[in-house]
Each structure stands twice: as structure tokens, then as C-alpha cells.
Structure 1
Amino acid sequence: MNNGSYNVLVIEDDPVDQRAFRRFVKGNGSPYNYTIAESVAEAKSILAAERFDIVLSDYLLGDGTVFDIFNLKTDLPIILITGAGDEEIAVKAMKSGAYDYLIKDLEQNYFKVLPATVENAISRKKAKDALRESEEKYRTLTENINIGVYRNTVGPDGSFIEANPAMVRMFGYESKEEFFAITVADLYQNPDDSTKFNEKLLQERFVRNEELPLRKKDGTPFIGSVSAVAAEDGGGAVIFYDAIIEDITERKKEEKERERILKALEAKNKELERFTYTVSHDLRSPLVTVQGFISMLQTDLEQNEREKAETDLKYISNAATQMDTLLSDTLQLSRIGRVANPPEDVPFGEIVHEALEQTAEQIKSSGAEISVADDLPTVHVDRMRIAEVLVNLIGNSIKYMSDSVSPKIAIGHHRKDKEAVFFVKDNGIGIDKNQHEKVFELFYKLDKNSEGTGAGLAIVKRIIEVHGGRIWIESEKGTGCTVYFTVPVVRTN
């Protein structure tokens, strides 16, 4: 063996051609570290024992042909060196895996192009190995990631050319074979979306993070984020699409939940601002009264006006009582949702009965006629809190009775949009439409001279909201009032 840059196996059984090769290497200083084999069998033995970069082989060998060398599956670049007139064999050899071929001529001019041919073959082999390694890494990556990777033909009903396991799993199929039997349109909840996406990709050639409504094999809907690129041929025509897809259904749910929480927090902050303002405003009123009458009390005491001093003390006491009531109602409102009884399944009729017992004296003294529906459902609530709601609503109906008609209060429920809606309805004086929202504000009073702090309906609203329900009023001045609310209902078969 001669020292050189490339290890070359020369398979040649003709001594003349062997000598010619030796002279060529020696005379040109070619960077070949070569070994000569005279037969297929010898070549096979040498290849099993030594490492080579390239094989140069004659067509006809002592015990076979160059095609026997191809059958050894060496993965080495093979250059066929054959006699003149063997072009047909050379073409066949190229189809069988030869990297190139050279035609022997009497003047041995083929040695002039041999170095470039060898260099080109080895470079191509290195490029091929690098590509194979890259493809193997890519294949390993796509086989193991949880993101779907696929290739499909052009068109809304295109067929799949390739898909990784994650893609097959994502859509609920058992195997690639089963997955490849469907079309692209089969993945969409609405096939028209497949047409639109195909048109967009044809026009833009690249689409990133497109959110599409897709469906699994069993029809389960989900949202997929797709990024795709259109592959073109030499003429610029699109021949297929390569794409990746990620199931972002949970992410979208989390985004919606985060948005809901942020909106709720925003609403709570606004509610806290209103609450703080209302409390500070309404507590200031009795405080101003106290301060004013303390000053008057000092003056009256200095002037020894005993009767006036007693009147001053009475006003101070009333203002203190009012402040205590305001503080108690404020504390009660703040405790709702933080201090509560565990919710339980209870017939709504039982809660109504408890509320009527608590308001029995008011009902009797007012002469109100009470009617309760028979078909009230079972609810899942904090029993005491909902009874408190009913007591408050019944009390308001009695407080705002009309003098011109016999007072009537009806308690019942109806179904609306698959939701159970409860109501307390009266034939009292009614409420102007512009006050339907205001009455639920803390310390707001329809009648400024009436008893109480005006916190009742604010507390009622808070109790209903803690139960995940809604509350609203339908009323007009002089036509009575109906308060509607919703709470969780126990489903029955």
C-alpha cells in the first residue's frame, strides 16, 4: 500500500491495467492509499477486513462482474472503469448504484479525468451521508415530539404523504395506514375551512400559527394551531405542503379562563371602589350628626339648658345607633362568601316555608295574601342564606304595598333557556325602570324616610352571586314588582 489521502480499492484482474494504475499513481503523485483485488471473492474478503473511501472496479472480473460488487451492499461509492463499447453496461451500472463510470481507451486518457471523478464521487458520498444523518435526526425528532408533523398533496381534499406518530395519535387513529386512508378535509369540523386554508396557503405560500377548528376520528372537536409551507418545483408550481400542528384546545380554555378571571377581578376592583365610596359617604352622615350635636351639647351644658342637652343626647344616641346599624350591615355584606354554611340539596319549598315563618308577623299585620307554587324544584344552596334572600324580598314586598289594592305576593319558578328562574312577585307600588339597577347598590333607599339602611338588596344580590346566580327586577311604577333570581338546581332524571 502507498501512503495517501484516500483509501482506494481497485478491483482489476488484468495485469496490464493493474500496472497502468500503479504508474498513474506513482507518476502523478495521486493521494491514493490503494489495494488491488483481482476477483470478486478477493474484494469481498478485503472489504470485510479493511476500511475504504472508494472502489474502482472493472466490469469483467475473474469470478464475476461489477454487479456482484454492487450486491455486497458496501455503501461505498463505486466507479466503473470499463472497455470501449460498454456504454450500455455503464448505464445499467449507474442505475444499479455506480457513482460514475470511465471508458478505458488505448491511450489511457481516462486517467486524466480519474482524479476529478474520484474527488466528485467522494464529495457526493459525504454529502449523501450528511443528508442521511440529517434526515435520521429529523426523523428521530419528528417521531418523538408531541407536535404533529405531516406532508400532504395540494388541494382541500389532498391526501397525506407522510405523518409522524403524534399526528396519527392527535386525531385518534390507530395506525399510519388508517390515517393515510382519509383526506385533509376529513380533519376539519367544516370542510369549507379546508378549502379556505388551501387557498390561503396557495396564495401566501407560508402560513404561521393558523388556528383551525378540527375534529378527531370519533368526531371530538378541538382547536389546532397549524404552520405550513408550500413546496415548489423548479417552475414555481406548488407540489405539496409541509406542516406542523399543535392541539391548543387546553391553551384556549386557559386563555378564556384567564380572561374571565381578569374581567372578574376588574369588576371586583370597581365594586370595591364603589363599596369604599358608599361606606365612607354613608358612615359620614351620622358622624357629622354626632359631631354637630356634641358641639351643641357643650353649649347647652355651659348655658345650663338641661332640656336642650337631653335632646342633643337623644340625637347623638340615634346617630350612633344608625352608625352601628350601617357598620353591622357592611360587615354582614363583607362576610357573605367568606363565612357560609356548606351547600346542600334541599327542596326550594322548604326554604320558602322557613322564610314565611320568619316573616309571619309582618304578613299577618299587612294582610298580604301569599301564594306558593307546588312544583318548586330541589336546589343545591346554602339553606340559611337563600332563606335570608326570601325574607328580604318578602319584607320589601310588604314595605312597598299599594294602598289601593289588596296586597298579594306570589313565589314560584319557571324554566327559561334551560335555566330555572325563581321569582317573588307582588302587586305593590312598583319601581321606575331607571332604578332597577340602583336598588341593588349598598345603602340605596327608594324611600329616604323609610326604616332600614338600604343594604338589604345589596346583601341579597351578593348572596345570589356567591351561588353563581343572577338577580334582576321587572317592574314599572304602579304595576307591582317581580324580582327574579337563579341558583343551582339539582338535576333529576
Structure 2
Amino acid sequence: MPWEGDGDQNPRFRVLLVEDDRVDQIVFRKFVKDAELPYECTIAGSVAEAQDVLRWSAPFDIVVSDYLLGDGTAFDILDLVQEAPVILVTGAGGEETAVRAWKAGAYDFLVKDARGDYLKALAITVENAIAYRRAKKELELLSGAIMSAQDCIYLTDLQGKILFVNGAFCRTYGYTRSQVLGKDSSILWTGGHPCTPTGCVVGIPTAGGGSAVGFHHERQDGRRFPVSLSRSIIKDSSGKDVAVVGIARDLSEQIRLMDEFCLEITHLEADNERYKGLTITVLETLDGLLERGDSRKALRIIMDFREILAIERKGIPLARTGSNLGSLISEVAETLRAAAAEKDIELAVSMPEVEVAVQADRDHTVRALTCIGRSLIYAVPARSSIRIRVQDIEDAVTVAIESNDTIGAIRKIHKAMDGFDPFGGHSDPHGDLVLGLFVAKRLVELHGGTVGGDRSSGQDDILLLTLPKSKGVSRDSALVSARADQP
């Protein structure tokens, strides 16, 4: 029977003791109680009982096992335990057994003594093992975060020798880890040194016509490219400098898009006051984003702005076909579930029993609905609920999106769709310009649909989209323009 340790101290360590000797079980239990150790203990009297406990109980922080058990040995326990450190204790067995235990994956090996003094050492070993496990897990998480980061991260010693590079570094610079580890970090600079005329600063154009400071680095094949670069000293626990971490970001794509953007806005019609005002807002937003180093959001705004101009000037090709709306909504919902789960948001979808087909370009429709749904997820508070309801009404299909939030998130989305105001969601504390919602609305409208509030009930906290039903639409692509003089 499991035995739960006494006390309410924190942190509490979940400990599994595998011991077939009843006296040793009692001695261990008494020691934990007398020493007021923060253990929540479970005791198993055999390998078979330990197997059942490990299968059905919550994970343990540590496992302590006697070496000789009635139906096996501690090596059987080592085979059963997946993650928790295992400490072996025995009244018999010498150095050879200890070496075997360590090779098999045991954290430590302790020898019992008649006076029970080994229990004091066991308490210290348990604490050290748990601290080691936690440090190992933290290191694994940190390593995983660094390896999956989009920026190029590298570590050097104080003399500049490269000690570590992440995956983004290898992809950007073109080196394998074996090619670059141990090399001097000067190989990253054009000309082999940061202070050469070609390796120093480079002007990075900003949206407002100014420039920011960047540097030229060099890829493995000799091609140079602009980067933003930050470097920091790493100190050990005593405060001594031990290494340097560098974080570099390739700015090639940013510069290319910014150049194209600046060229494109010079061609805006002089009398188009609406887009002149939007252009100024975009420029101001881009400058703020680039100053913060948020180039990814800046690039998103540039691409959205260019798409707005394309929609309003030339139209976009729509491959309109009869598409199953249920399939479209299911695809959107699956895409949104991960973002909803991060904020513990309940996402529910309600579909009519009869299959409904809409006249739509599948890819553009999924993109528009996903943008609207993701914006709402970002805007509502954590632990809210979002419901997507689909209704079949005469010649059209409606998609109603509603939330139980009390901060008016849907009204903010209405505002961002209807104009070009900053959209301040919970996940966007800077209140940056959001153009994707306007693009999403125009894509729906170009399909012959509408986006707005539930006017029939007078509610503006329900987002209502309509899409025309499918009527044997041709599968040929059609160029749909936003201009009134081009049907």
C-alpha cells in the first residue's frame, strides 16, 4: 500500500522507495518523519509492485531501490524508470556492483550500515539528484530554445574562439558545426576583421528615409551580407567573465523589401489622400518596429500594405470553385487550436447538419478566416471562449464569430477592418498597426461576401461573415478587381 509522507513544507519531492524488507521500510519512514524531510513517499515491496506504481502513479522526482529484491534486483527497477534519477542502496555488494549500477544509469550507489547512518547520506544524495535533474531539464529546455531560435546565436571564449553555434547560424552562414567550432570568430567578418573598411558598419535604410547601423558579415562561400549584431559577456556564478554570446540577424530580405517598398510608395497617386495618410502611418509604424528590432512584424506590415495596393489597384486572381465550407472551417479551426491552447481559450465550431458549398477561392478564404480568428484569439483575455457558428441562409452562408470576453475585442477588430487604426490586442502591447484584418475583409468582399456586425440583432460584438453559395461555378480563375469601374 502506498504511504504518503507527512508535512506541508514546499517544495515536496515525490519519492518512490522499492524495499522488500519490512524493517527497512519502517526505518526509512521513521527517518523521513523525524528529519521532517519534504518527501511524499510511496513504498513498493517488490519489482512487480514497483512496476504497477510506476505505471499508474504520477511521475516521481526520485526512485530509491534496494539492490536485492524478492522477485528481482535494482537493475530491473532501472529498466522500468524512464526519467527520474535512481539511487541504489544495498547491504551487500562491492565496487564491481557499484560500477555496474553506474553504467546501467543509476545516479548513485550507497551501502547500508547497521546503525542506519547511510540514511543521512541518502537524504543529501536525494537532494543533489533532484537538483541535478532539474538543472539538466532546464539546460535541455534552454538548449532547445537556442537551437530552434530564428536568429543566429554563437558562443565564443574570451579569445574569440567559437564554442557553439545554433541551427539558424549554420543555415545562414553556410557552415557545418564541425567546420566552424574552434575557429576564430573573425571568419564571420568581411575582410577577416570587424575593423576593416569593408567589415565595419553598413547603413540599413529605414522606412522614414534615414538609416540604422548594421554590419557586414561573410558566408562560408565568401558572399557578404548585412546583419544586426549584439554581443554580451557571460559570467559564471562568481561573476567572472567566461564567454561571449553573439546574436546576429540577416537583414538582406529586410533591406530588399524596404527598398521595394520605398520605391513603390513613390508611385502612389498624388491625389489619393486616403493612401497618402495610410503610407505615413505605415512609415511611422515601421520606424518604431525597426528601432525595437522587430523586423519580422515590420516585414509583415510591408507585405500586407503591398497586397492592399495590389487589391485596390489591379485586383487579384481568384480561382473560385465550389468549396465545402465545413472542410474550410475545420482546416481553419485546426490551424487556430495551438494559438488558442496557449491562452487556454475554448474554441468551439458549430456546423449545419447538411453539407454546404460556397463559391470561393479555397486558399484565400482559409487565409482570411484564419487571420480573423487568430486576431480574435490574440485580443481576448486568457481562458475566454470563442464560438464559430455556420448557418445556411437562402443564397448565402453566414459565419458568425463570437466571444464571451468583456473588453470588446470584436469591436476592436471591426475598427481595424473598417479603417487603418492601430489594433491593440492583449498580445500586442505596443498597439502596432494591423493591416492583415483589412486584407482579410477585402478578400471576403472580392468573393461577393460581406463582413460586419450582426445588424439584425443590433449587436456589434458578433462578427458576421457572408459568402455566396456555390452555383456550379467554373473552375477557371477570374481576375477580381476592387475598382468600381471594373466588374
Q: Give the TM-score normalised by structure 1.
A: 0.39
Q: Give the TM-score normalised by structure 2.
A: 0.39
Say which structure, 1 or 2, has more relative contact order (CA 8 Å, 6+ apart).
2
Higher helix fraction (1 or 2): 1
State which structure, 1 or 2, has the greater radius of gyration over its C-alpha atoms. Answer: 1
